[in-house]
Structure 1
């Protein structure tokens, strides 16, 4: 149902950024059973006693299946070492670019892994519907209540049963900019949508083309516009209406959807605003999302709305920091008192309730794992509230975690990733592309509504 390009917009952007080859140590783990404890200390002590309730796990194996592949897989695998050393369990890791189609095939065929890292709530529901998935143990449920909250728990709850804890996350509600340009021009980071519009107008008055954008992404061309529209739905109408829209409880061609797409058009279809350094409005359709923000460094544009994972696309000589060549600010809400956050993530869905599988699920849902993962990764963040932001490697990762941990933040998962495939990875992308090249808003939303499965 959910095809590979959906995941590609996250994982492909990260490729080449995560090859950090450190190994977690067990300085604070008291089991003492491993002969190969690493010398690098972990970010957080591991309480091995918490796993004794699962029984003697020595010699057991847990299989993990995921779309997280080289080079992202190494810090994932290394982050499991404290658990393996505590329990004697071996985690068998399998990364596969075809994960999103193959995991469903394997589940239906009765050959699922012990645990799958599922990147969309819609796919998670499909996997549960095969009858092969098992609900999460109480320890995992308790950890999610403590470290993530109800918003995240709901995404992995099917027919009243909770199945999977969140793993990694991303923040899409960001605008990339040049801190030096802002300082030189006296620009202030906006805290409301009105201020964002005023800033854009000010840049135009200063002789600049403020925004740059690109939506080309192979078979997934068009997806960046879906993110823009989802962000606007959240900001203009709030999370409850957003949920109704995603679940088709209100029509895609209703007044809310129409207004949200028009709000995107006020930026992306405004020839005064785009496409700085790249061409006219139509050039957005032929510019890859990877290249779209790069003119910021040359001063050809000033603003680019894209997720935290866009950090992977800057040249290695480009400093990504609040005092660097480029950085990002939170895409503001309608007012400064609200903080809607659009993003994505993965969930640890199990197909076995063996004790070693439940123990590993518990570890992955803990603050301990989140901090250990942060200590050896770059370009990674979690919504886990027990994550110490200071353990994160890069300024953009820290900013993302701060946004996710903000008490005012209301998180919503990427809408197109939750919609039926006929919409989320087909009609929505294609009609958004037609829209940016000249199709009017009414035709666009009408066509998407017509494509919705009956």
Structure 2
């Protein structure tokens, strides 16, 4: 199924990251350092092997345009990470960041005026762009990098109708639970390794007169999306990746027994007055609490755990340390048993609309372990599922945790489900009905209403 062409959720997440005022320190790859200002070279061409790009011919004086929704200040690390390629090849990369990317890229493609490359944040949007007939398949050199450095799960999201189009770029991990290491130590609470252990931990906290969970799902027009992530995590854990894929693609009904049970499993946490909403109110307060504020009660001990993605690191106050020995950190939301490791997440893909040699060369650079490691050195707030990424190059503990989860050989990655569903479901009824469910609507009515909204 095609996903929605525009994602209010991704815009909200980006705004959350920007509001945190992340500062990117630009480290030099070749041993020299610069000021880290926009447009300065954060890496030296002398530090990378230019040989992979000579096969594309003499590229001096050529220009490649790349269009994306990644804007200031997150654009600076991306722009600086392109410098080694530019210095190797003589190509100029023209970067165009646009907050309206997810709607404008479709407009441009359909009008026959697409960029050379686009950084696409959703597999559904990727499929829609391929369906315009303007996208071109990735070159063999790019595909070879993906076969070497990514799992088959990731390659599949860049493949449409059996043809490989787009290499993965960055990634986020959604299967995380935030907590206070100090509070866990004081309460002698152990990090759970199975869903049963997570439930037992929650019950132990209740017995200790602690409120286990806090949550917030308010997000403007996108209110409700955090519930969809909870449900997707439980669909993946209770029924496995194959059933999850069928559910996302509507090969099984949204109101079937699997999704009904998954939502009930989420309800055992989010609709349990003994479990939520620590420091914020009753169960219904989840709907009026912003997702940015949802985990903050952890800091004063009125809440013990908060399920939210790796990008939530941007929402903690600047004076709080995010680390295993810090004020807050996160652990992997466990699977049904310790032998499986389902991972829910998001990511980006580089899609081409031109087959010129310089475009192919830049695609190949962005799909390489070389680029992933250069990008990692540009600062915190970014990870990749590229197996060639040296985690020592990541600068923050939460980025290292996310990368370790993504690179685990046992990990089975699945992309956010609602971002792959039709817009009428993924960014409309699913969010609205999830909110109604939080405020008192029963599970059957919720899944029935979402099923009715699915396009015929």
Q: 2:441 maps to which residue?
A: 439
Cα distance change on mapping 1:70 and 1:41 into 2, 3 Å: closer
Asked if the contact 2:40/2:80 (under 8 Å) is kept, the reply is no
Contact conserved, 1:26 with 1:37, CA < 8 A, in 2?
A: no
Query: Which sections of structure 2, spanning at least 5 residues, go unmatched?
Result: 33-38
| Shift in CA distance, 64/41, structure 1 to aligned 2, threshold 3 Å | closer
What's the offset of the Cα at 1:21? 4.9
Query: Could you report, residue by residue, the CA deviation over 1:297-352 in whole angstroms, capped at 9, with x for unpaired residues?
Result: 10010000000000000001100000100000000000000000000000000000
For the pair 1:7 / 2:10, whether they are aligned, the reply is yes
Query: Following TM superposition, by how much is the alpha carbon of 1:12 offset from its aligned partner in structure 2, in angstroms?
Result: 2.1
CA-CA distance at 1:41 after TM superposition: 5.5
**Secondary structure at the residue paired with 1:105?**
helix
Whole-Å Cα distance in 2 between the matches of residues 197 and 279 of structure 1? 21
Q: Secondary structure at the match of 1:376?
A: coil
1:304 is paired with a residue whose SS is strand
Deviations 1:333-379 (A, max 9, x none): 00000000000000000000100100000000000000000001211
**1:255-306 residue CA offsets vs partner (Å, 9 max, x unmatched):** 0000000000000000000000000000000100000000001001000000
Q: Which of these residues, 249, 253, 256, is aligned with residue 255 of structure 2? A: 253
Q: Secondary structure at the match of 1:342?
A: strand
TM-score (norm 2): 0.95
**Structure 1 residues 23 and 132, CA, compared in 2 at 3 Å: closer, same or farther?**
farther
Inter-partner Cα distance in structure 2 for 1:401 and 1:228: 21
SS in 2 for 1:117: strand
Give the direction of change, closer, same or farther, for the CA distance of 1:267–1:118 in structure 2 (3 Å limit). same
Q: Please state if 1:169 is matched with 2:171.
A: yes
Partner of 2:72: 70
Taking the aligned partners of 1:174 and 1:431, their CA distance within structure 2 comes to: 24
Q: Distance in 2 between matches of 1:348 and 1:325?
A: 36
Q: Unpaired runs of 5+ in structure 1?
A: 29-35
Q: Secondary structure at the match of 2:377?
A: helix
Is 2:342 the partner of 1:340?
A: yes
TM-score by length of 1: 0.96
> 1:204 offset after TM fit, Å?
0.5
Aligned to 2:36: none
C-alpha displacement at 1:46, in angstroms? 1.2
How far apart, in 2, do the equivalents of 1:98 and 1:4 lie? Answer: 10
Q: Deviations over 1:4-59 (max 9, x none)?
A: 4131243223214444152645569xxxxxxx995x66699411011100001111
2:26 is aligned to: 22
Query: What is the match of residue 370 of structure 1?
Result: 372
8 Å contact from structure 2 (residues 376, 394) kept in 1: yes
Is the 8 Å Cα contact of residues 118 and 352 (structure 2) preserved in structure 1? yes
CA distance in 2, matches of 1:450, 1:41: 53
- Using the alignment, how far apart are the partners of 2:75 and 2:40 within structure 1? 20
Equivalent pair of 1:43/1:391 in contact (CA under 8 Å): no
Contact 1:135 1:164 in 2 (8 A): yes
For 1:158 and 1:437, the matched residues in 2 are separated by 39
Aligned 8 A contact 2:56 2:358 in 1: yes
Number of paired residues? 446
Partner residue in 1 for 2:206: 204
Q: Measure, in 2, the Cα distance between the counterparts of 1:228 and 1:9.
A: 18
- CA-to-partner distance for each residue in 1:114-168, whole Å, 9 max, x for gaps? 0000000000000000000000000111111110121011111111110000010
Q: 1:393 to 1:442 in 2, by over 3 A?
A: same
Do the aligned partners of residues 359 and 172 (structure 1) sit closer, same or farther apart at CA in structure 2, a change above 3 Å counting?
Answer: same
